[in-house]
């Protein structure tokens, strides 16, 4: 069964085309990663899918309900949303109280809301559940908001840049929670952490200037846009040579087209005494060297 169907979806802000004739669908139980450069239309898409914004053209169908022109409370109960710019509004509440009252506002009974809030606190390892929200760090608040959203019994979770502010440990725990949630729900998430998108998502929607340039499993997209390359060698410092290179901070990425080229580059780096490591190609490399047209 399709959880979401999008047909010829378009949205403009004045003369700027934020979304341009998007068509795709995902089945129930799918984790979809929406990626693309800044201004690609990721957040606009999330806002339309969650009934916060109406499209100029096209249809969105969620579990058989067309929401493009009408989205009532019964439909809204099907999903839960964590916006990129989510903020805390009640600073005198504790994380437990925040999650509890969110569930109550969604119509959950007192007893059930208490149980779910306790479960969310445990699931996300929130050791500060009785501290006032105003005393928490940004990462602590973000983790609380994630626990709050994912405590809802939703069919679809929309997460716009969910890992912003989280450390590595909490990111890894979030992926574990999302995989568990995907057994009974669908998840649509945006992220700039492309390596994580490729490891946690079943499908990837790649946007550029409001258009879909790729849609499918992460490994297939990688093969489609990086078929000219064999591997990537990361040099911890500056390096220049005849092969395609890209600078990334203090490091240099070298893209080789064959195993023999890889061996040649490695031998050269060893001769120069430069530290390096070999890496497989990832979705991140699509933005560095992929031919996005």
Same domain, 122 and 209: yes
Same domain, 154 and 260: no
Domain boundary among the residues 203, 224, 245 is at 224
Label residue 38 left, alpha or beta by phi (over 0 means left) and psi (-120 to 50 means alpha): beta
What is this structure's pTM? 0.84
For the domain that residue 43 is a member of, what is the CATH number?
3.40.50.300
Same domain, 148 and 245: no
Domain boundary among the residues 175, 196, 224 is at 224
Same domain, 126 and 238: no
Same domain, 125 and 213: yes
Q: 10 Å Cβ neighbour count for 26?
A: 21
The residues that bridge with 2 in the sheet, in sequence order, are 27
Same domain, 207 and 185: yes
Same domain, 236 and 209: no
Same domain, 12 and 143: yes
Per-residue model confidence as pLDDT tens for the chain (293 residues): 899 999 999 999 999 999 999 999 999 999 999 998 888 999 999 999 999 999 999 999 999 999 987 888 889 999 999 987 776 777 789 999 999 999 999 999 999 999 999 999 999 999 999 999 999 998 899 999 999 999 999 999 999 999 888 888 999 999 999 999 999 999 999 987 777 788 899 999 999 999 999 999 988 888 788 888 999 999 999 988 888 999 888 999 999 999 999 999 999 999 999 999 998 887 778 888 876 55
Total domains, the chain: 2
Query: Among residues 160, 143, 142, 150, which one has the least CA distance to residue 50?
Result: 160
Query: Among residues 85, 101, 82, which one has the least CA distance to residue 93?
Result: 101
Domain boundary among the residues 199, 224, 249 is at 224
Secondary structure (DSSP) of 229-249: --EEEEESS----SSEEEEET
Structural domain for 269, as ranges: 226-289
């Amino acid at each position: 069964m399709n959880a979401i169907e999008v047909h010829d979806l378009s949205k403009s802000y004045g003369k700027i085309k934020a979304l341009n004739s998007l068509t795709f669908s995902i089945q129930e139980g799918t984790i979809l990663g929406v990626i693309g450069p800044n201004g690609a239309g990721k957040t606009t898409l999330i806002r339309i899918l969650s009934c916060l914004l109406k499209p100029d053209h096209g249809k969105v169908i969620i579990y058989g309900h067309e929401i493009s022109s009408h989205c009532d409370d019964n439909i809204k109960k099907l999903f839960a949303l964590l916006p990129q710019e989510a903020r805390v509004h009640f600073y005198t509440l504790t994380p437990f109280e925040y999650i509890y009252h969110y569930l109550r506002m969604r119509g959950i009974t007192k007893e059930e809301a208490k149980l779910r809030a306790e479960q969310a606190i445990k699931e996300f390892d929130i050791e500060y559940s009785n501290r006032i929200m105003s005393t928490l760090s940004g990462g602590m608040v973000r983790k609380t908001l994630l626990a709050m959203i994912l405590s809802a019994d939703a069919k679809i979770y929309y997460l716009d840049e969910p890992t912003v502010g989280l450390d590595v440990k909490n990111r890894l725990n979030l992926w574990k929670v999302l995989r568990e949630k995907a057994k009974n729900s669908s998840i649509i998430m945006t992220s700039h952490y492309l390596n994580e998108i490729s490891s946690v998502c079943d499908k990837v929607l790649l946007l550029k200037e409001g258009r879909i340039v790729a849609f499918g499993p992460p490994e297939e997209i990688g093969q489609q846009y990086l078929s000219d390359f064999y591997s990537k060698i990361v040099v911890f410092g500056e390096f220049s040579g005849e092969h395609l290179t890209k600078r990334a901070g203090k490091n240099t990425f070298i893209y080789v087209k064959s195993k023999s080229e890889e061996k040649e580059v490695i031998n050269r780096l060893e001769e120069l005494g430069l530290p390096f490591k070999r890496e497989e190609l990832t979705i991140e490399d699509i933005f560095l060297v992929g031919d996005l047209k």
